[in-house]
């Protein structure tokens, strides 16, 4: 369970080789949604991981490179001699063709991007149940020009005669387009056909059933006397990780919750009630609000604010961790996407992903062994595990809240004079959205403090106060987002309550910007 190792996991399932695809995580998620375990590996480690994992099938992802570039990502072709079905997607297909006697060339007509119509000629196995003229999503600059011996064509598109190919003898299949993206009609059917129909993978992956395995793994790692210290943020990941570790080692887990003065109303109390009163965990709450707000004084640059919050958090946490002198282990709620991203950041194939910005990132010089029971799980799976562990829905299904907290929703300098009304307005937004059951369609719903004075009338007097901005968005993964409109009576009630119950705002506005080009947060 440390960053150097591959995540432990069951044997069987699907091994996905990441050639640098934007969509690699999506493939892994789609496979897991079918109830089949999947794991992503980089090309250089693929054969090693294969031997360790003994997968039932292999998927070779797409990638931005050309197979004939001299340093193009490549894996040991021995992967094709393991007797398991292989599905090559885009670059994966091209690599497979090149290594089975076929030829790949630059697409003469130029690159093919976006929607294309697929003509299905052979709707057996891989394409069973797919429509005759479905739309698929292409994104490639090279193409297979000649198939190797044993391959046949199952479907074509206008510029691409080898859009879907197969060598049924060896159970090798190839798609020149991306079945994992939502724009590809029947893409999910094709993946299902490959994973369940062709490869006949076992459908025994259920993250909710992992509790015993995870608890046992933590016990084994930490031993009979080891102690773990860990930061609780009140978010889903650290909460689920803490409850699992607590199940494994009880009072030998020491949790630290840092109140940075940038929390939402009721957050600290909620954490105390759940973890200390309900789970009876050893929880230390450090009130460091003055320290955070002191360091933030006079700072209005968004990036500088983020850095300060991150740095002060690390300082405060480090002081606390040092007080747990016996703790040789550090608990963290690291998820699988973080693992994939950090592997990519250290030379793996996936080149396009930003480094994730969690304030939970802790100093290496703490010299502790990491305990990360969620490092092979996606967010949805962590939620399922949390539910199985009995965590309340208000926590498991809660909306994301950024590490720097209200600092990035309080534009300009962060002061208590701005934080108090922001907190009040945010509480009202949450209450009204949740009371009306509208949170299920929203990714995030919150208030932003915009320090722009405008005139209002309160009682008989003119006031000159700031703007409360409502941000209500839907999203799948925060990479893109759309603004959402609530029913007018709910919006009216939110606005009335903010203007009447909270001091400091003369106006409530609604942000109707999608991401991109806007971002979800205002800073
Ligand atoms: P943006 O504003 O970039 O946000 O559209 C995308 C998602 O990330 C969250 N977010 C953060 N989370 N630390 C975090 O842990 C941060 O510094 C941070 N900034 C943004 C944001 O709430 C949204 O869900």
* CB 383, CB 396: distance < 8 Å: yes
State the average pLDDT over residues 324-348. Answer: 78
Is 134 in a helix, a strand, or coil?
strand
Q: So what's the pLDDT on residue 347?
A: 47
- Taking every pair of Cα atoms in the chain, the longest distance, rounded to a whole number of angstroms, is 87
Instruction: Give the nearest ligand 1 atom to 399 CA.
Output: 24
d(CA 390, CA 208) in angstroms, rounded, equals 11
Buried b / exposed e along 294-323 (16+ C-beta atoms within 10 A): ebbeeeeebeebbebbbebbbebbeebbee
State the average pLDDT over residues 397-404. Answer: 94
Annotated catalytic sites, by residue? 90, 178, 180
Dist. CA 311 → ligand 1 center (Å):
17
| pTM of the entire predicted model | 0.82
pLDDT digits (tens, 9 = 90+) for 120-137: 999 999 999 999 999 998
Q: So what's the pLDDT on residue 109?
A: 64
- Whether 400 lines ligand 1, by a CB cut-off of 6 Å, is yes
- Most informative mutation of 478, 482, 519, 523 for ligand 1 (most atoms within 8 A of CB): 478
| pLDDT interval class at 4 (50, 70, 90) | very low
- Nearest Cα neighbor of 255 from 199, 203, 154, 323 is 323
- Whether 357 lines ligand 1, by a CB cut-off of 6 Å, is yes
Q: What is the mean pLDDT of the chain?
A: 91
Provide the strand spans (E) within 348-504.
369-371, 444-458, 461-474, 482-483
Percent pLDDT > 70 in the chain is: 93
Instruction: Give the nearest ligand 1 atom to 515 CA.
Output: 5
State the average pLDDT over residues 141-154. Answer: 94
Dist. CA 402 → ligand 1 center (Å):
5
pLDDT higher than threshold 90 for residue 164: yes
* Residue nearest ligand 1's atom 3 by CA: 519
pLDDT digits (tens, 9 = 90+) for 226-280: 999 999 999 999 999 999 999 999 999 999 999 999 999 999 999 999 999 999 9
| pLDDT interval class at 385 (50, 70, 90) | very high
Dist. CA 410 → ligand 1 center (Å):
14
pLDDT digits (tens, 9 = 90+) for 452-467: 999 999 888 999 999 9
d(CA 152, CA 382) in angstroms, rounded, equals 41
pLDDT higher than threshold 80 for residue 90: yes
């Amino acid at each position: 369970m440390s960053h150097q190792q591959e995540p432990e996991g069951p044997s069987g399932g699907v091994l996905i080789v990441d050639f640098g695809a934007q969509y690699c995580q999506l493939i892994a998620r789609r496979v897991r949604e079918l109830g089949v375990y999947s794991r992503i590996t980089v090309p250089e480690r693929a054969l090693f991981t294969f031997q360790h994992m003994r997968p039932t099938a292999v998927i070779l992802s797409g990638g931005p490179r050309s197979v004939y570039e001299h340093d193009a990502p490549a894996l040991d072709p021995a992967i094709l001699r393991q007797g398991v079905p292989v599905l090559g997607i885009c670059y994966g297909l091209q690599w497979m063709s090149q290594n089975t006697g076929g030829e790949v060339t630059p697409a003469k007509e130029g690159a093919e991007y976006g929607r294309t119509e697929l003509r299905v000629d052979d709707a057996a196995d891989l394409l069973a149940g797919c429509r005759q003229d479905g739309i698929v999503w292409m994104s490639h600059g090279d193409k297979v020009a000649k198939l190797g011996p044993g391959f046949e064509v199952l479907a074509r598109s206008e510029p691409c005669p080898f859009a879907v190919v197969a060598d049924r003898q060896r159970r090798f299949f190839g798609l020149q387009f991306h079945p994992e993206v939502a724009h590809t009609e029947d893409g999910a059917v094709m993946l299902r056909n490959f994973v369940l129909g062709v490869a006949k993978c076992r459908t025994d992956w259920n993250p909710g059933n992992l509790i015993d395995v995870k608890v046992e793994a933590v016990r084994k790692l930490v031993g009979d006397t080891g102690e773990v210290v860990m930061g609780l943020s009140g978010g889903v990941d650290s909460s689920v990780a803490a409850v699992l570790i607590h199940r494994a080692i009880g009072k030998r887990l020491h949790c630290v919750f840092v109140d940075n003065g940038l929390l939402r109303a009721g957050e600290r109390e909620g954490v105390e009630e759940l973890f200390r009163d309900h789970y009876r965990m050893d929880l230390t709450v450090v009130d460091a609000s003055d320290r955070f707000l002191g360091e933030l004084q006079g700072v209005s640059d968004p990036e500088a604010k983020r850095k300060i919050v991150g740095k002060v958090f690390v300082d405060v946490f480090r002081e606390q961790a040092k007080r747990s002198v016996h703790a040789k282990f550090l608990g963290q709620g690291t998820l699988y996407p973080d693992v994939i991203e950090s592997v990519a950041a250290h030379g793996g194939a996936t080149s396009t992903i930003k480094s994730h910005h969690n304030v939970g990132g802790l100093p290496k010089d703490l010299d502790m062994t990491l305990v990360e029971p969620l490092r092979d799980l996606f967010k949805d799976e962590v939620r399922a595990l949390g539910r199985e562990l009995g965590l309340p829905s208000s926590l498991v299904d809660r909306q994301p809240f950024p590490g720097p907290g209200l600092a990035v929703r309080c534009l300009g300098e962060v002061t208590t004079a701005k934080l108090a009304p922001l907190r009040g307005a945010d509480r009202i937004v949450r209450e009204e959205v949740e009371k009306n059951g509208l949170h299920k369609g929203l990714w995030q719903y919150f208030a932003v403090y915009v320090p722009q004075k405008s005139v209002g009338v309160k009682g008989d007097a003119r006031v000159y106060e700031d703007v409360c901005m409502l941000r209500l968005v839907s999203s799948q993964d925060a990479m893109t987002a759309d603004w959402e409109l609530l029913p007018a009576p709910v919006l009216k009630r939110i606005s009335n309550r903010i203007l009447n119950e909270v001091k400091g705002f003369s106006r409530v506005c609604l942000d109707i910007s999608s991401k991109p080009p806007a971002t979800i947060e205002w800073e």
